[in-house]
Structure 1
């Protein structure tokens, strides 16, 4: 199959930092390029080449500046070429222009959240019109699939889901877990919905019974004021925390291997929560909000712990202290976390399911 993938306009493929959507595109292409011919069009940035080739995958990079300029450059580059399927990642607003350029080619939109089909990014009416231009809508979890079906019932028959994966060779458990302190990790964007203030308060409470607990936070923000607020809050609470900043993708596996558990205190819907899978692949028990697609990954009492009252710091504190005190439970959850990722969340499983959906759509 000749597949064209159009990446969003903000981060190049492969992403040097962050960019879970762009990393997803890159990892899927790596898995399927032996059997299929993949063309990825992505943002040109820094010293990256305009063209990269790996196996049967070609990555073309174009300049941006705005969504409109970027999309115009993308379509100019692929104009006149032939593809069996076109995948647009997370940008339903691109669909009309892509359909106009390729009137007879099946188009899918791979959605990674509800952000770009919701206010303030768009209206329900506009999103409905955009989705009329695509043949398939792929969500990254059952939860996102259900949310999309509920919001856009006219398109429910073409809405599917594919769980994302993780590089299980890079993200692996550390060999020696002996440590005097209990190290709690968080990774994600430093924005209010991710719940870092809740985590800071939870660590303060948990340290009353386990004083050795400490915290490390990896992630960047576009708001220096918000990061300053979090640092000030940590100081006022007396919480020992290291803010690691925006770590490169190459450094993230080593970051996970420094931890004893991972906490995902999301305060709003998470479509999937890839950081949880990365942490589990790294042999970390995950404590996470029971919200959105997270329970599809983290199974309470089996490979992690889910928090019902996720707006309450004390609920997270209870589970953090529980793991810190119970080494047998921690070891059991850690073992099962790694096993479950190997069986359910590898990139090869993601790629196989996605390409199966595309083959069926073209049959």
Structure 2
């Protein structure tokens, strides 16, 4: 939780922390170049080293089992009561231990209907080995159901359930939020009249950071009390390949004038433990995703600080951001529409405060404890059916 972590890792850690507090013996295992074991908040942590020899070539094809065999051995020898898989579905050799699969991303993303129909049967041969397929949003659940329909009558039975992630709404007390707001805004050189817009996440084209930079560049030329802080980096993206450096260069180029006027700042990656202070300092959070954002953990974190969110109408975002209630929704890729929404909240403090108050109430209702309560009921169902 000190180092940079993406949304999937954050959810796994938060769930495990509460499970450990409740007396469960929890282990989080992941693949890493070097084997390692440790502990965090009562949770057993393991890094599993891939087997270097388990890369097999046959018939001109290469089958890479290095990571899979390492995990398979760990699971089989661990004698776990239940295996909770996050975005991992290669379960053929994991044995008959009860399993659940947790989906944080868009299942079979980007596939056209014809391709989806061809891929779905094999996809569900893997998914069907789990006692439950857990979706972080109704959007993800809908995609899972669609793929199950496309898999045909021979597909194994599904057990698709929605379990939204949560937030620690009291990570900072009211006094701590006030102190953090004062400190961070002083570090950024802001006055009381400045309105701070914030983005946190992967600096990738999919997250809409280029469109955000374009919208803010226009806004800052019109209003000299607008400020933009971008917290994040490319390694927060679950797939680390791609044009991340190019994206960051583009964003910096677009914001050149704003940065020169000290109206924008690229903060780099902020650790999860430090992020609440930056949310507290902000007035508006912006997440203009250009892909189908499946949930948006950062939305809840911003809500916890009592600030409204401007989000794109994508994936599961509208399940959290209710237009005109706790934030504003804009169409994907609509730079002018994004600028108008930002301008509206910049100029209307009463609206910011009203939306922010509702945002805070949304966060209070969505605790991690509630997420784990629902998860334990899912576990009980899966265990009782085995």
Task: Compute the TM-score of the two structures, normalised by the length of structure 1.
Answer: 0.85
Q: Distance in 2 between matches of 1:340 and 1:172?
A: 17
Q: Determine if contact 1:190/1:196 at 8 Å carries over to the other structure.
A: yes
Q: Distance in 2 between matches of 1:355 and 1:293?
A: 23
Measure how far apart 1:278 and its partner are: 0.8
Measure how far apart 1:127 and its partner are: 1.8
Query: Which residue pairs with 1:158 in the alignment?
Result: 159
| Root mean square deviation, CA, Å | 2.8
Q: Please identify, of 70-79 and 242-251, the stretch whose mean Cα deviation from structure 2 is larger.
A: 70-79
* Structure 1 residues 226 and 124, CA gap change in structure 2 (3 angstroms): same
**Number of corresponding residues:** 341
Measure how far apart 1:125 and its partner are: 4.2
In structure 2, list runs of 5 or more residues that go unmatched: 53-63, 150-154, 183-190, 235-239
* Structure 1 residues 115 and 147, CA gap change in structure 2 (3 angstroms): closer
Measure how far apart 1:38 and its partner are: 1.9
Q: Which residue, 69, 74, 79 being the options, matches 1:72?
A: 69
Q: Determine if contact 1:184/1:259 at 8 Å carries over to the other structure.
A: yes
* Structure 1 residues 21 and 170, CA gap change in structure 2 (3 angstroms): same
Query: Which residue pairs with 2:48 in the alignment?
Result: 62
Q: Distance in 1 between matches of 2:272 and 2:380?
A: 31
* Structure 1 residues 220 and 64, CA gap change in structure 2 (3 angstroms): farther
Q: Determine if contact 2:210/2:247 at 8 Å carries over to the other structure.
A: no
Q: Distance in 2 between matches of 1:19 and 1:63?
A: 21
Query: Which residue pairs with 2:59 in the alignment?
Result: none
Q: Which residue, 23, 27, 37 being the options, matches 2:25?
A: 37
Measure how far apart 1:69 and its partner are: 2.5
Larger Rg: 2
Q: Determine if contact 1:276/1:297 at 8 Å carries over to the other structure.
A: yes
Q: Residue 28 of structure 2: SS of its match in structure 1?
A: strand
In structure 1, list runs of 5 or more residues that go unmatched: 1-13
Q: Determine if contact 2:300/2:363 at 8 Å carries over to the other structure.
A: yes
Query: Which residue pairs with 1:6 in the alignment?
Result: none
Measure how far apart 1:201 and its partner are: 1.8
Measure how far apart 1:81 and its partner are: 3.4
Measure how far apart 1:63 and its partner are: 2.3
Give a deviation string over 1:66-104, Cα, whole Å, max 9, x none: 983233223323433333321111112x22232xxx22x
Q: Determine if contact 1:90/1:116 at 8 Å carries over to the other structure.
A: no
Q: Determine if contact 1:303/1:337 at 8 Å carries over to the other structure.
A: yes
Q: Please identify, of 327-336 and 234-243, the stretch whose mean Cα deviation from structure 2 is larger.
A: 234-243
Q: Distance in 1 between matches of 2:248 and 2:323?
A: 31
Query: Which residue pairs with 2:169 in the alignment?
Result: 168
Q: Which residue, 90, 112, 116 being the options, matches 2:104?
A: 112
